[in-house]
Structure 1
């Protein structure tokens, strides 16, 4: 694809996208190969391969736990289906490992071809100069041209032919009826099956993020690296089909568990269980709930299901849970689903704990209940705050736009302001030790930012999202990149979902602000988005990953600030020194101050927020210099005049 079209579509080709060389024949030849696009596909394939292998092993453990009290033909069928799933997952992991190897090889071959073209160009230039000497009639010049020509031999003109890339995978179908005799029966512990379903869906949620990343990286590679021929590329469609098969299996097992539960846990005729396979959701809803859809694909699938609030309210809790965490559907609809799941978690924590797949995760039941209750209090407080927000009546709302699990942590996002309609949207990403139990404090900080931005420009409508959508690290983990790498895809999906869910094409102005380790997550996430934001603001950062090119961050402007009295940001940078560096050391960032100025207070530590009655000043405390500047960036889309 021509470079101008790549740029027009929002891609930022690196300097190696197109190498144009005028060789001695005078013909302009080019090699279309973007190292950045290749690296993105390598990273996506490597991440998917590793996670899928881990999931295949974990799935075997889950199956063993689920079948302990499972008897009869359906126990055999369940084991058979699980074996197919595990084998297909391992096979797909191998395909991605091979794909990584193929793209690595393609990069080496592309560099070899670039080198050959450079050498041909340089030799042609030297040969042209020698021709001028030969034609000069000067005996000395002719002689020197002859000697130079003998020494400077024409380089090999044999073109490097890239090895074709092949990546093929198709999953197998899994039977869902036992086909036993009319008198055969099966029995199982429904709670064990529901625990399996919750853990399986959580694993598919993680795999789905890898699928989105692979889809985007593969599309970009095919456009920006067309020098490399692609032969056989069913891996993306096959991954999609595997996720669809997994989703159907989860719904099927859930239906069987519910059937056993209604029967009091006793044995059921296999013919009764055979009927479960046919009692599935509508095709349109099944398509919408398939793991691994990009936000744009979710938006397209959403258009095919009923759009009413009553429809969402009538859905089973498990379906509401899946809808609550779908990036790409309107925030108002996610809010209905998210609040339904939160209310169920407050009312029956064990049920939702199992639904979210926490049976084998690190979060304990008591911690889960504590966080759920704190989140409910934060949502209630947000509803009250929304009533007094500045702006028109339609903006005076709070929305719970997601409530679920990521990487073993409880996650959620709360928007102050109408995320479906606001012309100006900000997403704030927290750092170390962040969890949903602290949502109340973050919503208060978000309100302060919204009010300050509105005072700067009253003509706009605003929404500020407190996004706790990833498993933030604890102090022992902050030096490692694992949490930011895992959270980056979650953030990218959320940001793209805001754009893709809106019929108006998205907000006029979009800002991503990130604190501490959240900035590490955000700078990686903004390299994965399909949409570009106006501003990315990092405050109190523990560092950007080494090798980050600011031009690859999908933000028109990148701002950085750190207070001199912040003791933990530099410590975080030191702990991660092997993989991270001070953001101020990266070309292309713009710095602003967090120190005291006329009418504002300087930040006194590392915290995001402190109450105005406190002597301590957080980055987003009322009247802090950071808040004032960030609000200006939010309102204007940039800093300064």
Structure 2
């Protein structure tokens, strides 16, 4: 019997309808408060304030409409579920009668009862009803509170008393929405949990309520700050630069609140972080206004959307280039003489030294700028900027991780570092472009993930770096999943690619994720932990390849703890990295080295153009499977 709980559906309908009524019911009070505040409000900031109020009004009305539509869709789903349940029950009842008739016929082979009864008792339909798909996409628009227009240079005047009245009214209305937000989220969670027969598309309208309320609260802080500026001035008109401080202070005010500070207590799951962040109502501009000591906490916080990590990481990177000594300490690095006396390559527990830190920060910025030039019109996101086991780490995405339908995370291997993100970014661009060619209806984001302290050659036989790195990779993947879940738009596919020792790390990470990664591809593996089984991993399908021209990978298998080749694990799908021919007679080249993406024209790596390995990997990225091909 299909899983569809009528009570959970009825509860969701009631909550959505009530939320729509409350949202629409605030229109009059909010409009009057805004109109009164605007009556003696003149100048550039009067326009910004009016525009913000208009966006609030339009978004609130649109969200109410989405909830009304969603309630109707749930009612429709309930009717269809009842129809399907009735069909299933009728078929089950008929089967009981049919089984009895068969028993009777077996007891009396020459009897005519069976034929007569069977003719009168028609078999119900066996056509299974296609479950309905519920979708209700909604994006809360950011509200512009800072004047950056060069043409708007005039002064602004306002009545602080009326602005305070706007604050008071809006606070009361916002408080009235608090309970509605919780009711919507809880009702939807019950419905999705108890009605799994229904399919769910982009339902970002559910978490959008918290985001809308966050924007409303930011408006209250902003209006209060504006009123404060006019009160300090004793009336009159104020300049753009003076009033821009009121907008900048919104982020500071939010960051001082308990909800923001709770993000860093360390006891929140990625899902809880995602939900809490969404409710804050901060946008990218507000994130950039935060002080360095808060930015550094956001750069790799698991559960934050990619846009927020990107804004925080870029801003902190600029700070690191301007104030490297302070940034170095804020990131938790310690240039202790005894610890670093022999250098990080000899003393493997030592932190990266300050000189190298400066060089690597510049290298990240250079790689970021180059990737933006190489991918015009494509979002490039800097994510996961942080400190792992004493080294600077980061990830860079070609494509928008918050919206793309197909996500890919490429995990780096031995001796990888942020000193050279160019090579991995170049490979990410190729993967992005080639996957797009294979599935034009999909959108892609490919991460060059150098997010852990990779092993030196001497460390490759050990599981040490994989154990530590897998914690960080699992945290990153869990955060990515949680943020997309909170946005109401999970990707159609998430694939993890892992090169060399990156495969050792990735396999361990997928034992720790709290969701199923759709595809895992290891290439040129340096071996994975002994006794690993596919069932140990939270993965939909596991692929592996290793080229005969790769003489280095098997050196990593010489180990007492990680001598297992992924392709030897039962259930892993092995594919070739040798010369191959596609069904259209196109020829693909063999991989001739261990490297992922060699610069040399004479060697072909696993992700080099026109190789059979790169073709197979992009097919998996695009369509979840490898295109048909034969040996070349």
For the aligned pair, the TM-score class normalised by the smaller chain equals 0.5 to 0.7
1:552 pairs with 2:539 = no
Is contact 1:331-1:401 (8 Å) kept?
yes
Corresponding residue for residue 508 of structure 2 = 524
Corresponding residue for residue 123 of structure 2 = none
Inter-CA distance 636–438: structure 2 relative to 1 (3 Å threshold)? same
Is contact 1:386-1:417 (8 Å) kept?
no
TM-score, reference length from structure 1: 0.54
Corresponding residue for residue 582 of structure 1 = 565
Is contact 1:450-1:464 (8 Å) kept?
yes
Look up the SS of the partner of 2:588 in the other structure.
coil
Distance 1:462 1:578 in 2: 36
Q: Deviations over 1:153-188 (max 9, x none)?
A: xxxxxxxxxxxxxxxxxxxxxxxxxxxxxxxxxxxx
Match of 1:437 among 419, 427, 434: 419
Distance 1:448 1:537 in 2: 17
1:634 pairs with 2:616 = no
Matches within 5 A, 1:56-67: none
Distance 2:543 2:380 in 1: 28
Structure 2: 5+ residue runs without aligned partners? 4-252, 337-349, 582-586
Moved over 4 A (4+): none
Shift of 1:348: 1.8
Is contact 2:403-2:489 (8 Å) kept?
no
Distance 1:476 1:544 in 2: 16
Matches within 5 A, 1:249-398: 281-359=256-334, 360=336, 361-387=350-376, 396-398=378-380
Look up the SS of the partner of 2:457 in the other structure.
coil
Distance 1:386 1:424 in 2: 18
Distance 1:547 1:279 in 2: 49
Deviates more, 1:537-546 or 1:549-558: 549-558
Distance 1:590 1:579 in 2: 19
Match of 2:596 among 604, 608, 622: 608
Inter-CA distance 292–623: structure 2 relative to 1 (3 Å threshold)? farther
Inter-CA distance 285–623: structure 2 relative to 1 (3 Å threshold)? same
1:484 pairs with 2:473 = no
1:500 pairs with 2:482 = yes
Is contact 2:351-2:389 (8 Å) kept?
no
Look up the SS of the partner of 1:530 in the other structure.
coil
TM-score, reference length from structure 2: 0.55
Shift of 1:291: 2.2
Look up the SS of the partner of 1:354 in the other structure.
helix
Shift of 1:438: 1.6
Q: Deviations over 1:358-381 (max 9, x none)?
A: 115421112111211111111001
Corresponding residue for residue 574 of structure 2 = 591
Matches within 5 A, 1:55-454: 281-359=256-334, 360=336, 361-387=350-376, 396-454=378-436
Distance 1:606 1:348 in 2: 39
Distance 2:296 2:354 in 1: 18
Corresponding residue for residue 469 of structure 1 = 451
Inter-CA distance 309–573: structure 2 relative to 1 (3 Å threshold)? same
Measured on the aligned residues, the alpha-carbon RMSD in Å equals 1.9
Is contact 1:499-1:505 (8 Å) kept?
no
Distance 1:279 1:632 in 2: 45
Shift of 1:602: 0.9
Corresponding residue for residue 197 of structure 2 = none
Shift of 1:292: 4.3
Shift of 1:455: 0.9
Look up the SS of the partner of 1:580 in the other structure.
coil
Distance 1:414 1:426 in 2: 12
Inter-CA distance 419–444: structure 2 relative to 1 (3 Å threshold)? same
Shift of 1:279: 13
Shift of 1:386: 2.5
Is contact 2:590-2:611 (8 Å) kept?
yes
Inter-CA distance 578–325: structure 2 relative to 1 (3 Å threshold)? closer
Q: Deviations over 1:361-419 (max 9, x none)?
A: 4211121112111111110011112315xxxxxxx210001211011111101000011
